[in-house]
Structure 1
Amino acid sequence: MTGGISGGGSGGISGGASGGISGSAAAARGSAGAVGGTPAVRGTAGGVAPGAGVNLLALRSHNAALVLDLLRTAGPSGISRLELAERTGLTPQAVSKITARLRADGLAAEAGRRASTGGKPRTVLRLVPEAGHAVGLHLDRDELTAVLCDLTGAVVAERSARLGLGAGAEAVVEGAVGEVESLTAGVASVLGVGVALPGPLDHARGVLHRVTGFPEWDGFPLRDALAGRLGVPVVVDKDTNAAALGVAVGGGGSAGSASAGSAGAVGGSFAYLHLGTGLGAGLVIGGGVHRGARTGAGEFGHQVIQLDGPVCGCGNRGCIEVLCLDAVGRGAVEEAARVLGAGAANLVGLLDIDLVLLGGRTVAAHQEAFVRGVGAVLEERALREGVASVVPVRVAPGGARGVAEGAAQLLLAPLFGRGEG
């Protein structure tokens, strides 16, 4: 394909004192070290394959990220160079050099002209969404969901398959590779694949630990296995962290929407509670995903709240996860919601978060009951403690593919200086 983003020479993206974009392989590793210095790729008829393009994951200059993010949030109407300079604090000369590189590499384009207060009309620039794509892959316990997102985070294609973690590593990797290759066939500038699945796992190395219910995955190098087969950078994170990241940066846009990647972002500190085939939490503190030093944060479902309760898949008794799922299985959804509320109240008391978001297929099947039940427990706690305002409870945006879209943001968000944590 000739539409890829080329690197090297005068047409490449390079760093400099002017605030340009650094394209070094070292920078491509990102803040968590999950993305290696794999070259960028271009789509072929057979799916993703190595190419000669510049690695967009290496566009880690702070100044360039500021400009790219403003281009993204401006949407199709665009933004002028003068406005970019005013909002970033960069000099007009630095902005001109950065935008010239972005235009040369196909990332930005003119969006018309805008009247100015004096002098000639200003040229406005916009992000080119189709200049790059990321795959988001959600590996659940019993199914696989894959989405292809453009630079704004808008979903342009999706696939799903009845393939769960219980099929074993070889089958899951083979199935995942097949779905990604089908999804990216003929697509130019594939940045890489973000993979989200139940934890615990090591986000930095892309290695799984003892996934609850599937201990045979312990120690499996999922990132390297997929990267070796696909030839693109791969980032692995917990499903709850990916979903929380998608919410934090404003993912969840649909194809054709304006500025889909920047709409609806949730700021501040919040907890995303995911109740599906299991239960976990994604924590966003001060705008960034809180993973912990060993990606151990958010193992919310395995808080023990009933010492003599039923045995959980993790080996403990009375975990919130097993109590919630048992109640749902008995048709006692209101009971499950109050159990989930007890755990949410613990998080609110411990972290003083601003918002609780609920997601996952079990919540989706009983949205009103869970929002009402969790909210009631938080309200009761607030009344006991004399707190004037109750932490709100809402259903998370993104719906059934929210985790997969968040997984794509594992690749996209760092390009725009977002989602670091």
Structure 2
Amino acid sequence: MQAGANLPAVGGYNQAVILDAVRRSPDGVSRVELAERTGLSPQTVSNVTRRLLDEGFIVDAGTVPSGVGKPRTILRLEPQGRFAVGVHLDPTVITLVLLDLASRVVADRTIPTPASGEAPSTIARIAEVVRELIAESAVDAQRVMGVGVAAPGPIDLEAGTVLNPPLLHGWRDVAIRDDLADALDIPVLLEKDVTAAAVAELWAGAGASDDRNTLFLYYGTGLGTGVILRNEVIRGVSGNAGDVAALAVGVTDGHVRRVGISAMPSVLVDAAMAAGVLQHEPGPLGTEEIRALFSQLVQAADGGDPAAVAIMDAAADDIAVGLVQLVNLLDVDRVVFGGPFFGVASGFLLDRVPGRVHDNPLLVVPHEIEFTTSDFGDDVAAVGAAALVLDHAFSPRPEGLLITH
């Protein structure tokens, strides 16, 4: 039996549909065009756009001639109409951004992730920096709609908790969503970091068609993927989609290589130290030390050091093999690279990975694949977390029209 329509929600849905259409028209759009694109009546479009103008979401951007009759008024998104804060919880650094409706970063901050592993004090510090970020940007706090948090998986999306994130000691079963919401007294959403990165790319491509099919390869302390199919971010049943750590990419000495391990920066750093490319005192390495040593490894490879080139080349091979399997499985036509460890290695990897994917005889998709990097750099997960808040509030969701019991 089909669910009925929840009529009181129709107005909000129509508003989201029209706001989304305006957002996807960077050059502006008229009311007549909005009616054509959305299928709504001219009267409904007129009523909804009046509300959006009154509430500051859109602005009147002047008129353009339209042949016979009076000129058409052009409507555009008002970027300063609303804002959202994004927080990326990383084992090394916590990144915070303030995002406007046009996906522009208004302000950003980074703070070290405390080595103590005390989650309550870290959450209190995040709340403090969120308040500072808003105050220093001179943004009206009433226009900040909420905070999005991107965290390493696994997460419990329903409970709003991080379960046991790798390299974040002391963060098992931490209710970061509710704890941060209590500290700030504004809504907070939680998302897995690789999914947040995909959300950032989706919102950045506001003018894209409805056939956007993208694989986001997130290169951080490990590898993960975010997936966008026909303009929908794929989250999975529990919000933990995108874990490719166990994806087999080859065999060495009788042991299966898995891309989530073989291409990890820490593993590459260990290999470089064993090969004499890098020098470091014996003992365990922290994530900040791994980041610095990984940068040295890439510099050595870029400089032509044979051992460094061999290590990075093997990683590029494994990443390419993993991508072939994922592209075949998902049939995407766009691969975006990003994440906190990708920037330093972007030149080396982009010079090798795309060609090795296209030349792999196991690639079966009959179309070209576009390879690109995220415009948001190291901030991509934080930007995606903020965009999540805006997406949650403004993207039209047909399921909201159904009666629930």
Alignment partner of 1:301: what SS?
coil
Alignment partner, residue 108 of structure 1:
58
Q: 1:379 to 1:82 in 2, by over 3 A?
A: closer
User: How far did 1:267 drift?
Assistant: 4.8
The code of the aligned residue for 2:172 comes to D
- The question of 1:20 aligning with 2:11 is answered yes
For 1:187, which of 139, 143, 149 is the aligned residue? Answer: 139
User: How far did 1:134 drift?
Assistant: 0.4
For 2:111, which of 153, 161, 172 is the aligned residue? Answer: 161
- The question of 1:72 aligning with 2:51 is answered no
Using CA pairs under 8 Å that are at least 6 residues apart, name the structure with larger relative contact order, 1 or 2.
2
Alignment partner, residue 212 of structure 1:
166
Q: 1:215 to 1:141 in 2, by over 3 A?
A: closer
For 1:286, which of 222, 227, 230 is the aligned residue? Answer: 230
The code of the aligned residue for 2:349 comes to F
- Give CA deviations for 1:233-287 in whole Å, capped at 9, x if unaligned: 1111111101111112226xxxxxxxxxx35789532211111222211111222
Alignment partner, residue 379 of structure 1:
358
Alignment partner, residue 153 of structure 2:
199
User: How far did 1:207 drift?
Assistant: 1.2
Contact 2:357 2:363 in 1 (8 A): no
Instruction: Look at both structures and tell me which one has the larger radius of gyration over its CA atoms.
Output: 2
- The question of 1:136 aligning with 2:86 is answered yes
Identity of aligned residues (%): 34
User: How far did 1:328 drift?
Assistant: 4.8
Gaps of 5+ in 2: 1-5, 273-296, 298-310, 400-405
Alignment partner, residue 369 of structure 2:
391
How many pairs are equivalent?
350
Using structure 1 for the length normalisation, give the TM-score. 0.75
User: How far did 1:393 drift?
Assistant: 2.8
Contact 1:249 1:265 in 2 (8 A): no
- The question of 1:407 aligning with 2:385 is answered yes
Q: 1:91 to 1:181 in 2, by over 3 A?
A: same
Residues 351-370 of structure 1 correspond to what in structure 2 (within 5 A)?
351-370=330-349
Distance 1:250 1:265 in 2: 13
User: How far did 1:290 drift?
Assistant: 0.9
Distance 1:412 1:135 in 2: 10
Alignment partner, residue 277 of structure 1:
221
Distance 1:377 1:289 in 2: 27
User: How far did 1:183 drift?
Assistant: 0.9
- Give CA deviations for 1:29-77 in whole Å, capped at 9, x if unaligned: xxxxxxxxxxxxxxxxxxxxxxxxxxxxxxxx1x1112112222333x5
Distance 2:21 2:212 in 1: 20
Alignment partner, residue 302 of structure 2:
none
Alignment partner of 2:33: what SS?
helix
Alignment partner, residue 325 of structure 2:
346
The code of the aligned residue for 1:160 comes to T
Contact 1:246 1:405 in 2 (8 A): yes
User: How far did 1:334 drift?
Assistant: 1.6
Alignment partner of 1:174: what SS?
helix
Using structure 2 for the length normalisation, give the TM-score. 0.78
Two-structure CA RMSD over aligned residues (Å): 3.0
Contact 2:225 2:244 in 1 (8 A): yes
User: How far did 1:395 drift?
Assistant: 2.1
Alignment partner, residue 35 of structure 1:
none
- Give CA deviations for 1:101-132 in whole Å, capped at 9, x if unaligned: 11222223322222222222233222222121
